[in-house]
Amino acid sequence: MYRDSLSLKIDPVRCSSCGLCVRECVNDVLTLDPETKRPGVKPGGEARCIHCAHCLMACPSGAFSMDGIDPDNCPAPGKTLPDFDSLLTLVRNRRSIRHWQDRDVEREKLEKLLDAMRYPPTAVNYRNLLFSVIETSEKMNRFREAFYRDFFERFPESDEAVSWKQARQNGRDIVFRDAPHLIVAAYDENSFRGQVDCVIALTQFEMLANAMGVGTVWFGRILIVMEKFMPELADKLGIPAGFRPGYAMLFGYPAAKFHRTIRREMPRVVFPG
């Protein structure tokens, strides 16, 4: 599951021998040399390293360089973080959008959202997700029309085709909801919990998108279609061999403005023991 090798460099000028890196390492990879008091890798430690880079981040003097990551290029955490009430407001205001404005999300915003997809956690820090993104409404319209055409030709008697065709004849798109954009998160078949990693990543995408005023809706239907009818859709989405679609999301600017949030029932909570 982990990488085949570990590249770890320690700047002897910067290192203060404080030992914080060793204490932070959960897999017992590092040790302090009894003579030099400098950190180093234990025998066999390379195989245990999950490349979480906590040693790099915990080092107050920036003495660690790991897997080519320069500590000087890693920004400080920031003096302030969003407080609980601010984040709760964001969560409560999240809606599943099914009606969209007829405009694309600006390229700059989209690039910021996709750049942020380097940060969601993955099981055992595997970090090998792939994102297929339909970035313009023009491309989305072509994908949508090709999808319906192929589906109706190949599965005309299916319950799905009958209901979808009826909706299309009435001017309704009940599959894609006329959304301008689509993102599909795919996982490496060798990953430990790849589909879960995809859901975690898209959850963070959704929260960040909503913070920008971009709406989203989870889109499990396309995964069902790929599993049941059209596995070749993965290829049309640019998902290569060795990767599987984990989950999908439609996104764009909402057509409606919501004037209040809804009060949900408290979930069941247990405190075992």
Burial class of 260 by CB neighbour count within 10 A (0 to 12, 13 to 18, 19+)? exposed
253 vs 8: which has the higher pLDDT: 253
Per residue in 102-145, pLDDT tens?
A: 999 999 999 999 999 999 999 988 889 999 999 999 999 999 99
Residues near 155 by Cβ (< 8 Å), separated by ≥ 6? 161, 229
What are the residue ranges of CATH 3.40.109.10 in the chain? 85-252
25 vs 5: which has the higher pLDDT: 25
Mean pLDDT of 50-56: 89
Say which residue the tokens 């889109």 belong to: 219
What are the residue ranges of CATH 3.30.70.20 in the chain? 8-73
Per residue in 136-171, pLDDT tens?
A: 999 999 999 999 999 999 999 999 999 999 999 999
Q: How far is the first Cα of the chain from the last one, in angstroms, to the nearest whole number?
A: 34
- pTM, to two decimals: 0.90
Mean pLDDT of 22-28: 90
Per residue in 60-76, pLDDT tens?
A: 999 988 888 899 998 88
Per residue in 223-265, pLDDT tens?
A: 999 999 999 999 999 999 999 999 999 999 999 999 999 889 9
Contacts from 157-161 at CB under 8 Å and sequence distance 24+? Answer: 158/229, 160/225, 160/229
| b/e sequence 182-193, b meaning 16+ C-beta within 10 Å | bbbbbbbeebee
Looking at 3.90.79.10, 3.40.50.300, 3.40.50.1580, 3.30.70.20, the CATH number of the domain 8-73 comes to 3.30.70.20
- CATH class of the 85-252 domain in this structure: alpha beta
Average pLDDT, the chain: 93
pLDDT of residue 75: 85
